[in-house]
């Protein structure tokens, strides 16, 4: 069985794009792989959250992932900061991570540009912490998006460097696991092809959005004045609305609006009203589950403890072996 590790940043709520993207595949992977999913709360300290925000954000993502079907019995669902072995491995890896390679990392260069007032060492060494997260469980596969591929490449560099330095064939080389065809791409509401929280106000629909918020966002989605010729090609923004319908509505509903479009009889107002109700039908069970879980600190405490115990078992074994390989031996 292959070991899978993925980290979840505790920022923001899950949107439909996340759900149909990574989330559904995480849920499936639990059935076949030895999965470790953790909330990257050490990593989030690079942005200096207040203690209340830190805790609130961690709780929100934990609850939303549980609501989507991550199962603490099937996978190991834990908080990064519950496993200090990760921090120890990070320290070891930092001794062999070079200033030059860390500074060349694209995400670091972006941060220098976007937040010049807070270029801290945690940002510079973000890739070594991420490498530690992954190799602490000797992972084989890491399900990540394109934006994380460079980090994963660096993880391989650090793992191989450790193996070479100590002439130990110890860490496996983790590969990026790309969902490829299984990825249903969800477009944004603002005409852009991608739903994302950084795309701007009104682009994304969150699972936790209220019905009123969803209606408002969908009604504001970008459209145009409508087709003028039968069977006309669809502009991107219109194609996006149809793609959302394809993911969320009944087949007959989609067909009805396809036919109306092709006959130049479409009324976007009606289509959006229908789409909004279909989105609400889809998100409501998630929202209800999230609200329930947010109230259940006893259950959440159990989930976190179960994850901590399982993750600790794996991490402690690795750290013990790594210490011996490095030469920390008892007298």
Q: Which residues are catalytic?
A: 111, 194, 197
Residue 127 C-beta: closest distance to ligand TRP, Å: 9
DSSP alpha helices (H): ranges in the chain?
16-18, 24-32, 51-68, 84-94, 99-103, 106-114, 121-124, 126-135, 149-165, 211-219, 236-248, 251-262, 268-294, 297-326
Q: Is 11 helix (H, G, I), strand (E, B) or coil?
A: coil
Q: Which is nearer to ligand TRP, 141 or 217 (CB)?
A: 141
User: Which residue has the CB atom at the shortest distance from ligand TRP?
Assistant: 7
Question: CA 4 to CA 144: how far, in whole Å?
Answer: 11
Question: CA 97 to CA 137: how far, in whole Å?
Answer: 20
Question: CA 3 to CA 216: how far, in whole Å?
Answer: 42
Residue 150 C-beta: closest distance to ligand TRP, Å: 10
Q: Is 114 helix (H, G, I), strand (E, B) or coil?
A: helix
Residue 209 C-beta: closest distance to ligand TRP, Å: 22
Of the candidates 293, 319, 303, the one whose C-alpha atom is nearest the C-alpha of residue 39 is 303
Tell me which residue has tokens 């229908």.
274
Q: Which is nearer to ligand TRP, 86 or 283 (CB)?
A: 86
Residue 318 C-beta: closest distance to ligand TRP, Å: 15
Kindly provide the b/e burial profile for residues 169-186, where b requires at least 16 CB atoms within 10 angstroms of the residue's own CB: eebbebebbebeeeebeb
- Which stretches of the chain bind ligand TRP, using CB under 6 A? 5-7, 9, 40, 43, 130, 133-134, 142, 144, 148, 151
Residue 146: which region, alpha, beta or left (left: phi > 0; alpha: psi -120 to 50)? alpha
Q: Which is nearer to ligand TRP, 20 or 268 (CB)?
A: 20
Nearby residues of 261 by Cβ (< 8 Å), 6 or more positions away: 227, 232, 234, 238, 242
Q: Which is nearer to ligand TRP, 8 or 293 (CB)?
A: 8
Q: Which is nearer to ligand TRP, 40 or 238 (CB)?
A: 40
Q: Which is nearer to ligand TRP, 130 or 248 (CB)?
A: 130
Interhelix angle for 268-294 vs 251-262, to 10°?
Answer: 150
Sign of dihedral through CA atoms 281, 284, 289, 290?
positive
Nearby residues of 162 by Cβ (< 8 Å), 6 or more positions away: 92, 93, 96, 168, 170, 171
């Amino acid at each position: 069985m292959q070991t899978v590790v993925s980290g979840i940043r505790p920022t923001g709520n899950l949107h439909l794009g996340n759900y149909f993207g990574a989330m559904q595949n995480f849920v499936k992977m639990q059935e076949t792989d030895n999965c470790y999913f953790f909330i990257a709360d050490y990593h989030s300290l690079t942005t200096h959250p207040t203690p209340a925000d830190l805790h609130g954000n961690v709780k929100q993502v934990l609850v939303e992932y549980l609501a989507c079907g991550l199962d603490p019995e099937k996978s190991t669902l834990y908080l990064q900061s519950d496993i200090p072995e990760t921090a120890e491995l990070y320290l070891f890896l930092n001794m062999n991570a070079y200033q030059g390679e860390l500074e060349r990392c694209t995400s670091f260069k972006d941060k220098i540009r976007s937040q010049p007032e807070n270029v801290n060492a945690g940002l510079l060494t973000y890739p070594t912490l991420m490498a530690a997260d992954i190799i602490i469980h000797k992972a084989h596969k890491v399900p990540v998006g394109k934006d994380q591929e460079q980090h994963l490449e660096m993880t391989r560099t650090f793992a191989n460097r450790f193996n070479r330095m100590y002439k130990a064939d110890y860490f496996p080389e983790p590969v990026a696991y790309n969902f490829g065809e299984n990825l249903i791409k969800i477009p944004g509401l603002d005409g852009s092809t991608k739903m994302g929280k950084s795309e701007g106000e009104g682009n994304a629909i969150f699972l936790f959005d209220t019905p009123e918020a969803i209606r408002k966002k969908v009604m504001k989605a970008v459209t145009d004045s409508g087709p003028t010729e039968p069977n006309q090609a669809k502009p991107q923004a219109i194609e996006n609305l149809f793609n959302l319908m394809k993911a969320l509505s009944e087949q007959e509903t989609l067909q009805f609006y396809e036919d109306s479009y092709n006959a130049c009889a479409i009324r976007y107002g009606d289509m959006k009203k229908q789409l909004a109700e279909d989105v609400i039908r889809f998100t409501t069970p998630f929202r209800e589950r999230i609200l329930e879980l947010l109230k259940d600190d006893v259950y959440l405490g159990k989930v976190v403890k179960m994850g901590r115990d399982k993750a600790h078992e794996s991490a402690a074994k690795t750290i013990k072996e790594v210490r011996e390989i490095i030469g920390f031996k008892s007298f």
